[in-house]
A and B are shown apart, each in its own frame.
Chain A
Amino acid sequence: MDRFEKQAMALALSLVLMFLGLIVYAAKGLQADLPTCLPNARLFERGRLVEVGPNRYQVDAVAFMWGFDMGQLNTIKIPHGAVVDFYVTSRDVMHGYHIDKTLVNLKAIPGAVTYSRVKFDRPGEYQIVCHEYCGLGHQNMAGKVIVE
């Protein structure tokens, strides 16, 4: 292999290693990490919204054909500045749980619980979009987080 080829390969390798370094920094340093395995996750069949501390909330969301049970149906209200833990599962087929303008982008899988935490700094309406195909009513499956 000639000189130029070796240089091109070295450049490509350093580029991807740089990307990887930035990713690890964002995940572990800036806490923008992916959902992980929760070894002791309790399974739940009903949705609920509970205040677990001062301005801290927990949402158990059960996705179904075609809506989100979060204690209330499809819509929840949260004060702004609140830190919210989302636990998501499904009671029938696979669904998606993507909250607009946040990094909450989860898959609702029957039999498994997926988790993400987010802080709502700005008041407003955040749409929850089901983004995994779940049957013929899929396009109508959406919810809302109203941050007051």
Chain B
Amino acid sequence: MQTTQAIPIKGAIRFILLSQLVIPFILLILGVLLGLYQVLARAGIIKSADIFGVNYYQGLTLHGVINAIVFTTFFAVAFGNAIMLHQLQRPLKTGVQWASWVLMVGGTLMAAWAMLTGRATVLYTFYLPMVAHWTFYVGATLLLVGSILPYFLDWIPNTLAWRRANPDKKLPLAVLGNLVNFTLWFLIILPLATTVLFQMLPMSLGLAQEANVLLSRTLFWFFGHALVYFWLLPAYIMLYTMLPKLAGGKLYSDPAARLAFLLFLLFSIPVGLHHQYTEGGLSSGWKLWHAFLTFMVALPSFITAFTIAASLEHAGRNNGAHGLFGWMSKLPYWNKTGDRWLFAYLIAGLILFLFGGITGIVNGSYNLNLVVHNTAWIVGHFHTTVGGLVALSFLGMTLYLIAKLRGTEVKMKPLALAAPYLWMVGFVIFEIALSITGLQGAPRRSNIGISYLDPTNELLYRADWLFWSHVGALGGTIAVLGFLCYTVSLAGTLLAKPVKQPELDFPISEAVHEETTPLVVNLRPWVAATLLLIAISYTYPVYESMTRGVLAKSAGYQSIENNLVPQSALREQTKLP
């Protein structure tokens, strides 16, 4: 692994990187506040179908799309640009970056308009045959197309040029992680684009009256689970290449890190059927095969757990720790010097991710999934993964990069340090509470405050869900307090006067074990094996999906009008035809 110099940064590229961090963050504020409303509504603390004119499900759509798609995609592109620029020390092309920026920002604005005006209340999974306004689909497509441009036109050419200039060196670890991530991203955008452009958009425009729902779902989840690794890999890049140095030590093993990234490439995609366990129309044998591969994709996370723990132990001993567990108390949990504050974000995220990993194995466990499928348990799970390690590492790195790119210090560091721990405590409470209500049968994605948790509703009232729903609301509120602390520190950093030249720099660690094996150097066999495994795992399920499942469209956004029916009338339920 090589450490590289800080590089000065200015002009268009500096503006593009900064805005790729700031624009999604502004939207994220809305997404987080809507999350607060949702957790309070689910506990029955706020009993209403909407807040400030935003319907619960419209808000849930915004919460999902902004937090999980817009924020993560913008960050992954900005972070990827910064990593490639810094690690390869080769310039990015301004034209390519502007094209990518215009597509991403334009697409986001189109989709945001559709969601904010109630024309796309279809949630972030936008399952057919619910249909949104065409601007939602076109906007989402533009965002994804824009996000892949730098990979093809900047990063790959720069990597090839670097290889020619440095034939004896290993590719920097962060570059490998980033290339794996966007190779994955490109492969999974294709099936998503297929269902969006050829099934959803024609129905939205009125050109088609029916679509194969099951096929659309199979294509969606081809994308949908690998998507979580697209969120996770930038966080893993930070864990492997930066966390050890921030902790005061070195990465335990460079080849293990490379192996983990390549295993993610291999196993991330052919696992989508584990989101479709409860569906007819797909054979249980193929579901079991995807369950097996889901367990295989847990392997690189196990490797990561070992390597990162070993690196932290190395750092703790470096800092003067003794005994078997002494290193745990010698880590910079609360350190305001230089960039050490970033450690807090990564360690708090890691602790949350322990919960996410364990609950994730439950979710993937084939028949065990029947106990938790689409219950609140799932919501608890992903708020410790994408809402845990991913969100915290992205927020920490956003603050870090903004300070570097503006040439300022991070302002109000105590607030910036308190933020990840409040967030962590909040989401641990949230996770436990939602796991319990999930096991009690409470559904996810439902405004249960005005139905199951309304004591005046004799038909549906579930007193047994009440206590833990309130505990969940407490957890969510604590996490939002953490976000508030973060926002104040970020705003201070954004408005502070620059005190030095803007630069791009990362705290890149050295490794204890550097020796390399041919297994992790040559990428071609890994890409070939990935394509082969996808073909094996998806050919028959896609064929099976195509043989059944056709129905007329149903306008998702038009159901807004149905919501004007009073709740009492809804309770009586619709009469049979």
Contact = CB atoms under 8 A, between A and B. Distances in A.
Contacts of B287: 34, 36
B562 interface: yes
Nearest to A45: B577
A2 B575 CA distance: 68
Interface of B: 49, 55, 57, 60, 121, 123, 127, 129-130, 212-214, 217, 252-253, 255-256, 276-285, 287-288, 291-292, 295-296, 298-299, 302-303, 306-307, 310, 361, 365-371, 373-375, 441, 443-448, 450-452, 459-460, 462, 513, 517, 544, 548-551, 554, 556, 559-560, 562-563, 565, 567, 570-571, 573-576
A24 to B, nearest CB: 7
13 contacts: A2-B253, A17-B295, A35-B278, A35-B284, A36-B285, A64-B574, A67-B573, A98-B443, A103-B371, A112-B280, A129-B441, A132-B374, A139-B447
Contacts of A129: 441, 443
A134 B447 CA distance: 12
A62 to B, nearest CB: 10
Contacts of B446: 131, 133, 138-139
Given A8-B306, A107-B279, 18 more contacts: A1-B255, A5-B256, A5-B303, A9-B299, A9-B302, A12-B303, A15-B302, A33-B284, A34-B287, A37-B282, A66-B573, A93-B129, A98-B441, A106-B279, A107-B276, A112-B279, A136-B57, A142-B451
A135 B556 contact: yes
A66 B573 CA distance: 7
A88 to B, nearest CB: 8
A111 B211 CA distance: 10
A137 B560 CA distance: 9
A140 B281 contact: no
A93 B556 contact: yes
B562 A105 contact: no
Nearest to A47: B576
A50 interface: no
A111 B548 contact: yes
Interface string A30-46: 00111111100100000
Interface residues of A, number: 66
A13 interface: yes
Nearest to B560: A136
A4 B252 CA distance: 11
A107 B573 contact: no
Contact of B278 (A17, A34, A134, A140): A34
Interface string A3-35: 011001100110111011001101100001111
Contacts of A94: 127, 129-130, 213
